Amino acid sequence: MGSPPLIIVAIDGGAASGKSSTSRLLAERFNLLHVDTGSFYRHITWELLRRNVPSGERTALLAALPSLNFSTRLEGRSARMLIGGQPAGDEIRSQQVNEHVSHYAAVPEVRAILLDYQRGQTEVAKQHGFRGLVMEGRDIGSVIFPDADFRFFLHADPAERVKRRAAEGRQDSIAERDRLDSSRKTAPLACPPGAIDIDSTFLTLEQVVEKLAGLIAPKLT
């Protein structure tokens, strides 16, 4: 008999909705590859800012995109993007990147160059013996893996999300990022039709994980 098929878990939601923490814990519980696509957009943003290529200068931006050569390095259970063979550091979580990432992410061509790379993480999961992957972002269940085995959308009250960022010692323009991500023409942030919508405002991280895990577990038995 061949190996069982990979399962794909898609988790979408806005900033500080609990996507990353939930995804990491589900990856650990079910032996899944964790893929944080938000970090991909952050890495691209940092690289283009480093090259002085603004998101609003379309000609320069389109000229720069083909030179962004992507590869993947495994770090624990997480897939880490390399650009030109180099990983990003803590700078991708800086205030500067926070302020610009939604603008770059709104460019259709930026999203297009990442499409195959993101879908290709299934091969990374296979090569490293994972049972599947859990991918978090803003268009995973709608665009990247619309036929995922599980599609979840996490959301929380904006004030609660600001508190979560502050507890992490970070600042984030959550309301503005929500506005930009939800209003962009290409792959806007929204709960995909048929996805399971979960309000995490008054739930602990453990409660969110247990809720999702209870739905996923029967698929793996």
**Is 170 contained in some domain?**
yes
| 185 labelled binding-site residue | no
| 19 labelled binding-site residue | yes
Tokens of 145: 């893996």
Per-residue pLDDT of the chain (221 residues; tens, 9 = 90+): 556 789 999 999 988 899 999 999 999 999 999 999 999 999 999 999 999 999 999 999 999 999 999 999 999 999 999 999 999 899 999 999 999 999 999 999 999 999 999 999 999 999 999 999 999 999 999 999 999 999 999 998 988 888 888 787 776 777 788 788 888 888 888 899 999 999 999 999 999 999 999 999 999 87
- C-alpha span between 146 and 136 (Å, rounded): 13
List the CATH number of the domain containing 195.
3.40.50.300
Residue 204: Cβ within 10 Å count: 10
The per-residue pLDDT for 137 is 95
| 182 labelled binding-site residue | no
Beta strand spans in the chain (E)? 7-13, 32-36, 70-75, 78-83, 86-87, 132-137, 150-155, 196-199
Tokens of 12: 């979408």
| 17 labelled binding-site residue | yes
For residue 190, which phi and psi values (nearest 5 degrees)? -165, 155
The per-residue pLDDT for 2 is 57
The per-residue pLDDT for 187 is 86
β-bridge mates for residue 73, sequence order: 80
**Is 80 contained in some domain?**
yes
**Is 161 contained in some domain?**
yes
**Is 194 contained in some domain?**
yes
**Is 33 contained in some domain?**
yes
**Is 85 contained in some domain?**
yes
| 15 labelled binding-site residue | yes
| 27 labelled binding-site residue | no
- Show the domain range for 208: 7-220
For residue 164, which phi and psi values (nearest 5 degrees)? -65, -40
Half-sphere exposure of 69 (CA within 13 A, CB side): 4
Can you tell me which residue has the tokens 């599980």? Answer: 150
| 102 labelled binding-site residue | no
pLDDT more than 70, % of the chain: 98
- C-alpha span between 20 and 26 (Å, rounded): 10
Domain count, the chain: 1
| 219 labelled binding-site residue | no
Contact 97, 42 (CB under 8 A): yes
**Is 2 contained in some domain?**
no
**Is 123 contained in some domain?**
yes
Tokens of 212: 């999702």
